[in-house]
Amino acid sequence: MPNAKVLEQKQQMVNEVTAKLQESSCTVVADYRGLTVAQVTQLRKNLREAGVEFQVLKNTLVRRATAEANLTELDAVLTGPTAVAFGKDVVAPAKVLADFAKKNDKLQIKGGVVEGRVVDAAQLKALADLPSREGLLSMLLSVLQAPMRNFALAVKAVAEKQEA
């Protein structure tokens, strides 16, 4: 029979993982088998710079957390060594992990959760191909500015033509 203190620590970890699953906009589950310590360190650094938390967790603890968070569809990808990336930004975890996986074929994205919905690896890779939030906002701003800019150029051209 396990020690009561050990059970309490495990329950606390399950509660923490459950809270992270519910709070994060994007959670990515990956298999890191075959990566060297230097590669994992570089991956952690890249994720930290993007504001993403990265943890290696036991599958049983994550399964219990997914049951508490009503995300049991994620249990299908919880096999083998599992690393989980939690991020507040929807695109950042998927983008950093997908970019790293392109350079290091040992890292395999298994699946994840995006805004409370369980998604597979293909959907996460499609999400990673999207520009960042700042990039999307700048695209929107340029689209909104284009009509005004074109109008200003037309008025300027008419004014120059009348002066000539």
Contact 56, 81 (CB under 8 A): yes
Q: What predicted TM-score, i.e. pTM, was given to this entire model?
A: 0.74
Nearest Cα residue to 85 out of 46, 117, 37: 46
pLDDT per position as a tens digit, 33-80: 888 899 999 999 999 998 889 988 888 888 898 888 888 888 888 888
Helix count and strand count (H, E) for the chain: 6, 5
pLDDT per position as a tens digit, 109-151: 898 888 888 888 888 888 888 776 777 788 888 888 888 888 8
